[in-house]
Amino acid sequence: MTDSTAGFSTRAIHAGQPFEESTGAVIPPLHLSTTYHPYSIGELRGGYDYSRGTNPTRDSLQQQLAALEGGRFGISYASGLGAEDAVLRGLLKPGDHVVMGNDVYGGTFRLISRIHGAVGIGHTPVDLTDVDAVRAAVAETGAKLLWIETPSNPMMRIADVEALVAVAHEAGAYALVDNTFASPYLQQPLALGADLVVHSTTKYLGGHSDVVGGAVITNSEEIDSAVRFIQFAAGNQSSPFDAYLTTRGAKTLAVRMDRHCDNAEAVASWLLGRSEVSHVLYPGLDDHPGHDVAARQMRRFGGMVSVRLKGGEAAARKVAESTRVFTLAESLGGVESLMNYPSEMTHASVKGTELAVPEDLLRLSVGLEDAEDLLSDLERAFEGL
């Protein structure tokens, strides 16, 4: 079931998930075998020979991921950064250039600047909300790849995907969208013209904080071939068990995201009323600079909320270490609510650079608990600020 006319949840549950023929099992079996017996030399059974190259469980996930993003091809990796690395190695060569947001995820910046920068890939950070500035940066650098992250991590800026894709294509560059924060349920970058989408499937797609993974989805056979080759040749594929867990999580993505959004809206509204808060960064708020763009290109506004506190670093650290329902942790997108202090945690790698995160900022991954309990938890943590 990959028919694009089927509803999102129908595709999530059925794409790449046919019942098992010999027993009728509704859930496809988990294929742990590393190697496969051919009919004869050069005549494979189902196209399988060695699981680094192909594996039935991973194939099921890849079909599901493609269906969720409305793409033709899906490729799964051992992590989100592994997926990003495969894109950079598959599509770029020494001397090429990447233009990216000046608030891009710290791990992405580290990968591009330190790993790929060391072999001659250049990079230019720019404010993606300023389309003219992006156009100028792409033209000046001759960029081969425009890296779009929206909503951005952790500043929650919204980039106009259609406008930026047009800028990239005018210059003959690829347009990539990191869709991790939104998830395929809330945003469909390929339908907005993007050449490829990347995910940390560790986050909302897996959704239960129990499996690390990454993905690339595209409609381009050329891009798919180049990036999939890296998966095979460099051995950076997701394991069968990780693929199984990700597939299981993704089946409930729609219902989870609606609850994430409901709770995030409640948390953002509560934060707006607090005297200790200087800024609430959530695209669902009418006064968010990217609200109108987000309303146009997203189904809803997501489960991530960032907040800046008037008390600065000390206040942010106190709140982050005082919650009981929100768990202090690095990641996001799971069923449980997580609190993060990006300056010293997820974005420590960009501290002291132009991408440094404000020290008064907290990032909240709002989970699926009862909203009343989340607000009571924050109320306790804010006491005494």
- Based on the fold, state whether residues 184 and 257 are members of the same structural domain: no
Could you read off the pLDDT of 225-238 as tens digits, one per residue?
A: 999 999 999 999 99
> Who wins on pLDDT, 21 or 218?
218
20, part of any domain? yes
176, part of any domain? yes
- Based on the fold, state whether residues 332 and 361 are members of the same structural domain: yes
- Based on the fold, state whether residues 176 and 287 are members of the same structural domain: no
2, part of any domain? no
pTM: 0.95
The last residue of one of the domains, among 250, 278, 302, is: 250
Q: What are the helix (H) ranges across 78-153?
A: 80-91, 106-110, 131-141
3, part of any domain? no
Res 34: pLDDT: 93
Whether pLDDT at 3 is above 70:
no
279, part of any domain? yes
- Based on the fold, state whether residues 244 and 320 are members of the same structural domain: no
Strand partners, 298: 187
> Who wins on pLDDT, 149 or 385?
149
Q: How much is the mean pLDDT over the chain?
A: 96
- In single-letter form, the type of residue at position 18 comes to P
SS3 339: strand
Domain of 361 in residue numbering reads as: 253-382
Other C-beta atoms closer than 10 Å to the C-beta of 149 total 23
State the total domains in the chain.
2
Res 2: pLDDT: 52
Average pLDDT value for residue range 175-181: 98
Active site residues: 52, 105, 178, 203
Question: Do the beta carbons of residue 251 and residue 11 sit within 8 Å?
Answer: no
- Based on the fold, state whether residues 123 and 212 are members of the same structural domain: yes
SS3 13: helix
What is the percentage of the chain residues whose pLDDT exceeds 70? 99
Model confidence at 276, pLDDT cuts 50, 70, 90, reads very high
314: Cβ–Cβ under 8 A, 6 or more apart, which residues? none
Whether pLDDT at 4 is above 80:
no
The last residue of one of the domains, among 200, 221, 250, is: 250
Which single residue is written with the structure tokens 């008390």? 311
- Based on the fold, state whether residues 314 and 244 are members of the same structural domain: no
CATH code of the domain covering residue 205? 3.40.640.10
- Give the strand order in the sheet containing 73-77: 73-77, 214-218, 196-200, 174-178, 145-149, 97-101, 122-126
Average pLDDT value for residue range 168-184: 98
The last residue of one of the domains, among 250, 276, 304, is: 250
- Give the strand order in the sheet containing 327-328: 277-281, 304-309, 361-365, 338-340, 327-328
- Based on the fold, state whether residues 199 and 292 are members of the same structural domain: no
Average pLDDT value for residue range 182-190: 98
Among residues 284, 263, 281, the alpha carbon closest in space to that of 374 is found at 263
Average pLDDT value for residue range 78-95: 98
49-53, 250-254, 280-284, 317-321: range with lowest mean pLDDT: 49-53
